[in-house]
Amino acid sequence: MSVVSDGMPRSFETAPERYRHWRLAVDGRVARLTLAVDEAGALTEGVPLKRNSYDLGVDIELRDVVQRLRFEHPEVGCVIVDSALSEVFCAGANIGMLARSSHPLKVNFCKLTNETRFEIEDATRAGQRWIAALSGTASGGGYELALACDRILLVDDRRAAVSLPELPLLAVLPGTGGLTRLVDKRAVRRDLADVFCTLEEGVRAPRALVEGLVDAIAKPSLFDELVQREVEAALAAAGPPPEADGVRLESLDPQVSEGELAYRHVTVSLSAESRTASITLRMPAKPNLLVGLRLARELDDAVLRLRFHYPELGLWLVRTQGDPTDVRALDAALGGASWFAREVRALLGRVLKRVENSARSSFALVEPGSCFSGTLLELALAADRVYMLRGVAQAPAFELSARNRGAYRMANGQTRLETRFTGHADRLNAVLDVPDGVPLDAERALALGLITEAPDAIDWDDSVRVAIEERASFSPDALTGLEASLRFPGPETLESKVFARLTAWQNWIFQRPNASGPDGALRAYGRPKRAKFDWKRT
Amino acid sequence: MSVVSDGMPRSFETAPERYRHWRLAVDGRVARLTLAVDEAGALTEGVPLKRNSYDLGVDIELRDVVQRLRFEHPEVGCVIVDSALSEVFCAGANIGMLARSSHPLKVNFCKLTNETRFEIEDATRAGQRWIAALSGTASGGGYELALACDRILLVDDRRAAVSLPELPLLAVLPGTGGLTRLVDKRAVRRDLADVFCTLEEGVRAPRALVEGLVDAIAKPSLFDELVQREVEAALAAAGPPPEADGVRLESLDPQVSEGELAYRHVTVSLSAESRTASITLRMPAKPNLLVGLRLARELDDAVLRLRFHYPELGLWLVRTQGDPTDVRALDAALGGASWFAREVRALLGRVLKRVENSARSSFALVEPGSCFSGTLLELALAADRVYMLRGVAQAPAFELSARNRGAYRMANGQTRLETRFTGHADRLNAVLDVPDGVPLDAERALALGLITEAPDAIDWDDSVRVAIEERASFSPDALTGLEASLRFPGPETLESKVFARLTAWQNWIFQRPNASGPDGALRAYGRPKRAKFDWKRT
């Protein structure tokens, strides 16, 4: 049932000692991350990763670095990203790989790379400021990687440029948020951004500085000095480091079999027949922050495997098991002021966003033995629907904690409770008035609007089964569009705009013959023939 | 070069005496608009418009009604929309028509119907409150039409329902903003909205009321009374009517030839060879508000013809001609407090949004003889780029008026100046500090950031020609996605979310084989065979 084809990674785990494409050097409070792509190391056979171009394998390593810096090197206050090549920072996503990727692989690749870019911005906000040091040209996804950094420094050597050449060269959009970051994050004027995105060769240092495409420039002989000044400014802004060693990210190594992904605290049952995946989180007794970290990482890894390897399992059924007392203990620890508590909270927040950002339906099933409390309640609030068994003697645990009141924000900048009760301040306040740890039975949860349906024991099996079968029968594409529209009422942010507005347009363009057809620009790239376009504007 | 095929209207003009699908009755302050679709009146041959289902022809009439009510009946404070059929309000867009429409026609149809829904909401805000009186079932686009009204009343007869069955029946999304209006306008809880959108049969009155899908319900014998009470409340809220007669909307009747659309004040030159349309607005001497109205309507009509009939003309070149003194005079009149000044301003605002919402590139060309002043300056601010000739003795007019400071808001809720200078309050203030009517030469306009490039007379022809040729050579699809991303930095609104997030997903879904392929749901609808889906979620 799983899809592990050409271009598809078998695992999303790695570690610095196994990196093929990045070099990480940590020196006190400064980390230097150098892109040195191994041309022969592509996931797709026969696609050389020239000029520091990347594929999913390169980005899986980047995701690993970003996470490890947060947990293993909390003392780091500044991350310099640079390149091992002299004239090229990064040429972006490899075109040969893109041209040979299926539509779902292209879309999933873009989504994961986008999520990692937001993790970089998240790190910067949390005190690890990322600086892109471009001593050579950054084009396409290479410039988009720089756009995700807090500062962009470009060498002024009359050659190095920044560019987003996707539209003129490939008839697609920059795939990792470049357009939105240009006008929304860097506030580049829309007409200048329009011109910039049509220039194959991009823009060199002096003009890039004037237009706001980069933050600072320097001649080659002064470039190291510029980087050094920026690092010092970043460290001064970051404040003192936490007085603690980091926490090593251990390997997860799930047991993968035909019907199951088994982690220590998370189990995923895979059913090809019903096209569903059942995700169960088990809360161990007396959990500490290390358990919270492991739980978050296991769920994250499971979500990525489900996205990439099991595309036909369109519905995720989310369950929890455990004693709510233990979740309360974990939530109390997560409320701590230490760097580690803050980092585990932040990771849990990102994992929850990854669940919502997945092109899968999700139903939370609240049954006896559940512990949808506090942090785990967020899984129910992130689901498209919540079914809770009504009228049993031992009611499933369903309760709030302080963590539901602001710790985990959605891509739209709001808490899940705020989003759920958009336009109904009275209903939101009624929920917020419920004290932490008060168990809510199904009637109360239904009345408060926290769950969708509450069948009793007689109806439960049929109600849930029908809902699941029906969901699994609908068009996968229409569900993706429906969920992208209903999950995010209220305001939009840079992040929600990238995953909705920009991504939706890109998905459309990826399907169009002008890009992906036999005569489309992605296929024609690098060959003598030119792309043939249907000129109709739509 | 023009495309007038099956399903395509030849003209976007109509008038009440020619309506085939709507009956309009105005009685004092109340208008009753009754949907009575002529089954035999479809634009697509052999597609009967059963059960008050609609096609573009029905919606062209609706657009006409909405505009005429504003101008010809300013005394109207309440519009009741109902149906001539006893058990059906409206069955939404006709599926046979959709299944037989090309992708561009589907997309353009949805865009125009969406724009008209926002015009209805605009009318409600301006004091003509729309009430949907559903004495029968409103499904799909029929319920979406109701969602665009201020109030939705549903008969409680155990049969009538509201529904959005597009996803389960057709594997597409509701096409006229329904999903966004459910959760953002009506604040229906996201999980209830999720369930609602999967119910083919929809939801009947009592449950619809509880979930916020409608505003009021009544038994059949009490329904007219309910409508009457709502009308009285609407009129009380609307305040006293303006003390004036309406203004008749005269016919535009452009001269259409192979190479030109010629209106009184607007001329469009059509070049198939260069794939461009040159739009020139001429400001007559001593214009009054009637001229402003005519100008707005001509430009609006030209935009619709260009969208539907000339899809291969991907670049619009926008020019103005006239004496800026005359534009200043028109802008002074537009600043008036009368109902008519307010309505012409509102119409101009909607036309400008329609330009920005078109899947075409636009360059404003500021040459000698131009009058990009005040209201007409908005055309330059709406363009993707502005080219202005530098260093000529008789500088082209380029100047602000009070109208640039808040009269015309973009779909994102901001003025075009605010949007242009997103994130740069200093630059915005520098522009706002320029007094009204001060002519800006090319150097000053460039320094202020109001134009993109200012070539001198020696470079002008080459610079502009190269930019035009280059633009016309790019992939039409990628340009549409690029422009949708760069034109709207900053906040999002219900309107911008419908045209970006929701529309982009729908465009993607419309292309997917699960909806539009030979075995897709749109083709299978109404036939014995069921749609076959590729189950991969993307």
B538 in reach of chain A (CB within 8 A): yes
User: How close B400 comes to chain A (CA, Å)?
Assistant: 19
The pLDDT tens digits for B71-125 are: 999 999 999 999 999 999 999 999 999 989 999 999 999 999 999 999 999 999 9
User: What is the distance in angstroms between the Cα of B167 and the nearest Cα belonging to chain A?
Assistant: 6
Burial bucket for residue A158 (CB in 10 Å: 0-12, 13-18, 19+): exposed
CA distance to partner chain B, nearest, from residue A104 (Å): 5
Chain-chain contact of B189 with A481 (C-beta, under 8 angstroms): no
Contact call for A312 and B474, based on CB within 8 A: no
What's the CA gap between B482 and A174, in Å, rounded?
Answer: 9
DSSP state of A16: G
| Other Cβ atoms within 10 Å of A461 Cβ, number | 10
The CA distance from B208 to B196, in Å, is: 10
Contacts of A470 in chain B (CB under 8 A): 198
Using a CB–CB cutoff of 8 Å, tell me whether B158 touches chain A.
no
B490 in contact with A at a CB cutoff of 8 Å? yes
Contacts of A175 in chain B (CB under 8 A): none
Q: What is the pLDDT of residue A391?
A: 92
So what's the pLDDT on residue A2? 63
Helix (H) or strand (E) holding A463: helix A457-473
Tell me the C-alpha distance between A474 and B357, whole Å.
31
Q: Does B179 touch chain A (CB under 8 A)?
A: yes
Q: Is B469 on the interface with A (CB under 8 A)?
A: no
Q: In whole angstroms, what is the distance from residue B386 CA to residue B455 CA? A: 11
> Rounded to 5 degrees, what are φ and ψ at B76?
-70, 130
- Within 8 A of A191 by CB-CB distance, chain B residues are 383-386, 420, 451-452
Using CA atoms, how far residue A107 sits from A287, A479, A506, B40, in Å, is 37, 16, 9, 43
Contact between chains at B197 and A482 (C-beta distance less than 8 A): yes
A398 touches chain B (CB under 8 A): no
Max intra-chain CA distance, chain B = 78
Give the count of beta carbons closer than 10 Å to the beta carbon of residue A273.
Answer: 7
Chain A contacts in chain B segment 300-339 (CB below 8 A) = 311-314
Computed over every residue of chain B, the mean pLDDT equals 96
Predicted local distance difference test score (pLDDT) of residue B1? 60
> Model confidence over B14-49: pLDDT tens digits?
999 999 999 999 999 999 999 999 999 999 988 999
Q: Give the whole-number percent of chain B exceeding pLDDT 90.
A: 92
Q: Are residues A97 and A7 in contact, defined by beta-carbon separation less than 8 angstroms?
A: yes
Nearest CA to B33 out of B46, B19, B23 is that of B23
- CA B34 to CA A240: how far, in whole Å? 70
Within a 10 A sphere around the Cβ of A520, how many other Cβ atoms?
A: 23
User: Which of A109, A179, A188, A190 best tests the B interface by mutation, with the highest count of B CBs <10 A?
Assistant: A190
Collect the ranges in chain A with pLDDT lower than 70. 1-5
Check CB contact under 8 Å for B191 and A386: yes
pLDDT of the residue at B4 = 54
Burial tier of A180 (Cβ tally within 10 Å: 0-12, 13-18, 19+): buried
Q: Is A521 on the interface with B (CB under 8 A)?
A: yes
Helix/strand/coil percent split, chain B, to 5: 45, 15, 40
Q: Does B107 lie at the interface with A, CB-CB under 8 angstroms?
A: yes
Report chain A residues whose CB lies below 8 A from the CB of B190: 384, 419-420, 486-487, 489
Pairs of residues, one from chain A and one from chain B, whose beta carbons lie less than 8 Å apart: 282
Contact B477/A103, CB-based, under 8 Å?
no
Nearest-CA residue of chain B relative to A314? B537
Amino acid at B87: E
B504 in contact with A, Cβ within 8 Å:
yes
A197 touches chain B (CB under 8 A): yes
The band of B2, judged by pLDDT with boundaries at 50, 70 and 90, is: low
A206-224 as b/e, with b when 16 or more CB fall inside 10 Å? ebbbebbbbbbbbeeeebe
Q: What is the CA radius of gyration of chain A?
A: 24
Q: Is B447 on the interface with A (CB under 8 A)?
A: no
Beta carbons of B183 and A422 less than 8 Å apart: yes
Which among A194, A383, A476 is the nearest to B514, CB-wise? A476
Give the residue from B108, B101, B19 showing the smallest Cα distance to B66.
B19
Q: Is B113 helix (H, G, I), strand (E, B) or coil?
A: helix
Q: Which residues contact A325 (CB under 8 A, 6 or more apart)?
A: none
**Parallel, antiparallel or unpaired: strands A30-35 and A22-27:** antiparallel
Query: B250 exposed, middle or buried (CB, 10 Å; 0-12, 13-18, 19+)?
Result: exposed
> Hey, what are B273's tokens?
């060879």
Give B125-149 pLDDT, tens digit per residue: 999 999 999 999 999 999 999 999 9
Q: Which of A508, A512, A525, A534 to mutate to test the interface with B (most CBs of B within 10 A)?
A: A508
Residue B472: per-residue pLDDT: 95
Q: Which of A183, A452, A487 sits opposite B195 (nearest CB)?
A: A452
| Residue range B298-313: mean pLDDT, rounded | 97
The shortest C-alpha distance from B365 to chain A (Å) reads 14
How far does B506 lie from chain A, in Å, by closest CA? 7
Burial label, A16 (beta-carbon count in 10 A; 0-12, 13-18, 19+): middle
Q: How far apart are CA A500 and CA B500, in angstroms?
A: 8
Q: Could you report how far apart the first and last alpha carbons of chain A are, in Å?
A: 37
CB contact under 8 A, A482 and B167: yes
A89 contacts A153 by C-beta, under 8 angstroms:
no
Return d(Cα A354, Cα A344) in angstroms, integer: 15
Nearest-angstrom CA–CA distance, B533 and B537: 11
Residue of B nearest to A189 (CA): B420
Instruction: Say how far apart CA B332 and CA B325 lie, in whole Å.
Output: 11
Residues facing B131 on adjacent strands: B80, B151
Q: Is A375 on the interface with B (CB under 8 A)?
A: no
Q: What is the pLDDT of residue A394?
A: 86
Residues in B touching A502 (Cβ below 8 Å): 481, 485
Q: Do B475 and A193 touch (CB under 8 A)?
A: no
Write out the two tokens for A79.
């991350």
Chain-chain contact of B311 with A538 (C-beta, under 8 angstroms): yes
Phi, psi angle pair for A277, to nearest 5°:
-120, 130
Q: Is A104 on the interface with B (CB under 8 A)?
A: yes
Chain B residues with CB-CB distance to A173 below 8 A: 478, 481-482, 485
- Asked whether the CA dihedral B105, B110, B111, B113 is positive or negative, the reply is positive
Say whether residue B514 is in contact with chain A using an 8 A CB cutoff: yes
B195 at A interface, C-beta within 8 A: yes
Chain A contacts of B534, Cβ < 8 Å?
476
B32 — alpha (psi -120 to 50), left (phi > 0) or beta? Answer: beta
A128 inside 8 A of chain B by CB: no
Mutation target among A482, A506, A523 for the B interface, most CBs of B within 10 A: A482
Q: Does A195 touch chain B (CB under 8 A)?
A: yes
Residue corresponding to tokens 């990009």: B372
Express each pLDDT in B335-378 by its tens digit: 999 999 999 999 999 999 999 999 999 999 999 999 999 999 99
d(CA A508, CA A359): 15
Among A535, A515, A513, residue whose Cα is nearest residue B271: A535
Question: With 90 as the cut, is the pLDDT of residue B527 above it?
Answer: no
A72-89: b or e for each residue (b if 16 or more CB lie within 10 Å)? Answer: bbbbbbbbbbbbebeebb
- Selection from B365, B373, B397, B406 nearest residue B287 by Cα: B373
Q: Does B431 touch chain A (CB under 8 A)?
A: no
The pLDDT of residue A1 is 60
Q: Are B536 and A360 in contact (CB < 8 Å)? A: no
Q: Can you give the pLDDT at residue A238?
A: 87
Dihedral sign computed on CA atoms, order A38, A39, A42, A45: negative
Indicate yes or no: CB of A197 within 8 angstroms of CB of B482.
yes
